[in-house]
Amino acid sequence: MNAQMPSMLEWCANPKGIADQRSARLDELFPPDIALKTRKFHRQLESYRMSPLKSLGSLASLLGVGGIWIKDESVRLSLNSFKALGGSYAIYRFVTEKLGEEVPVSVLFAGEARRKLGDLVFATATDGNHGRGIAWSATRLGFKSVIYVHKNTSAARIDAIRKNGAEIVVVDGTYDDAVRQVSVDAQKHGWQIISDTSWEGYEDIPKWVMQGYATLVAEAQEQLAGQGLARPTHVFVQAGVGALAASVMGFYQQLLGEQRPKTIVVEPTDAACLLASVQKADGKPHHFDGDLDTIMAGLACGDPSPIAWSVLRECADVFCACPDFVAAKAMRVYAVPLDGDPFIVSGESGAVTLGALMGIMQWEGARDLREALELGPDSQVLLINTEGNTDPDDFRRVVWEGGDPVPDPYKIPVSRSFGG
């Protein structure tokens, strides 16, 4: 095998997981009623619909697991991504705190917040989807937004943000550089940052963003119950700074305690800041060195969110990283499903968890991880398709043209499964 070829999976078990404990930190971030509060808010949005939960039963049989369940966020609020759930709830919480009272969303959207609070400007840094959600939310409340993107953000993602009413600033650097620059400029101009990553002195809003994602997990639980399942046995969640993964895993820890599912964080190999942090084994978040060059644009982050890390270091069982070809293969699997399975449109960041699951179940090199996770015929696996076709050019490059192909050493005959 070529020494330069990346492994299909790198992984590290979390030695600090608290599988059967509660902590004051989790109680603060995910109080028992948080999902009720977030769903009450989101139901007031005119375009709110519960995103579908889809079953890949044929693929589950091929891989040797009991079920694969996809929470499909590609249709969320007509924004092609789950991100608006967190951004909209954070803006709502910020506005109501400023007003000193809870106000129905319909009243806020009618201009009440703008009349009372004046010309607020909301700002954030983004790889695409978070910024689009902030722009969408701010515009509906009558406020302006300024969205910072890094130089490699695709034109399609920038255009989608701009169409939702935002001013765009392109930063010559990475996503992390954009985070730092928007912080400086917001302080200078008096803008309010709505970020999904935290830093010292800035935790409330990232906390509200994470809480907003609880709607997604609560919906999935309701939908699984409708299929006769009390809970998933395993949950794979992709991560950039870690906000979504922390929300999903914190939700299940608080809801189920020692009965919670086994939880797996999935990152790009070239932007694996959470895997790097757990490998340091000192309990602290760590920077990932590198240019963050990955097709998984929504996950191309070099610094974990400290508030998200505080949850993941307690709740995640395994951290793993995958090269781009794993995500690309999964995009094609979603787009060309086995007979009986539904067609799903999934972008690069949305698909990587399916790619990781397939790798664990089919690649002989992942046997130890497969056995450690006890993945098998009784497993009911929950995945989240976090985005749809948010970059049409790259989507076609991967799905139509076969971009980022699986290297020959990792190609597995479709009829063969090690997981049975």
The answer for residues whose C-beta is within 8 angstroms of residue 365's C-beta and 6 or more apart is 7, 8, 9
Average pLDDT, integer, range 395-419? 85
CA proximity to 75, closest of 216, 221, 178: 216
The CATH number for 83-201, chosen from 1.10.10.1200, 3.40.50.2000, 3.40.50.300, 3.40.50.1100, is 3.40.50.1100
Q: Is there a catalytic annotation at residue 116?
A: no
Residue-by-residue DSSP string for 219-273: HHHHHHHHTT-S--SEEEEE-SSSHHHHHHHHHHHHHHGGGPPEEEEEEEGGG-H
Confidence of residue 291 (pLDDT cuts 50, 70, 90): confident
Residue 418 has pLDDT above 80, yes or no: no
Confidence of residue 139 (pLDDT cuts 50, 70, 90): very high
Q: Where in the chain is the domain with CATH 3.40.50.1100?
A: 10-81+213-410, 83-201
Confidence of residue 102 (pLDDT cuts 50, 70, 90): confident
* Percent of the chain residues topping a pLDDT of 90: 86
**Mean pLDDT score of the chain:** 93
Q: Is there a catalytic annotation at residue 127?
A: yes
Average pLDDT, integer, range 320-342? 98
Active-site hit among 54, 71, 83, 207: 83
CATH architecture of the domain formed by 10-81+213-410: 3-Layer(aba) Sandwich (3.40)
pLDDT digits (tens, 9 = 90+) for 190-220: 999 999 999 999 999 999 999 999 999 999 9
Average pLDDT, integer, range 140-169? 94
pLDDT digits (tens, 9 = 90+) for 23-49: 888 999 999 999 999 999 999 998 899
Find how far residue 198's CA is from the centre of its chain: 16
The structure's pTM equals 0.95
Calpha distance 145→127 (Å, rounded):
16
Residue 416 has pLDDT above 80, yes or no: no
pLDDT digits (tens, 9 = 90+) for 157-174: 999 999 999 999 999 999
Active-site hit among 54, 71, 72, 127: 127
Q: CB-side exposure of 91: number of CA atoms within 13 Å?
A: 33
Residue 2 has pLDDT above 60, yes or no: no
Q: Which residue has the tokens 């935790």?
A: 203
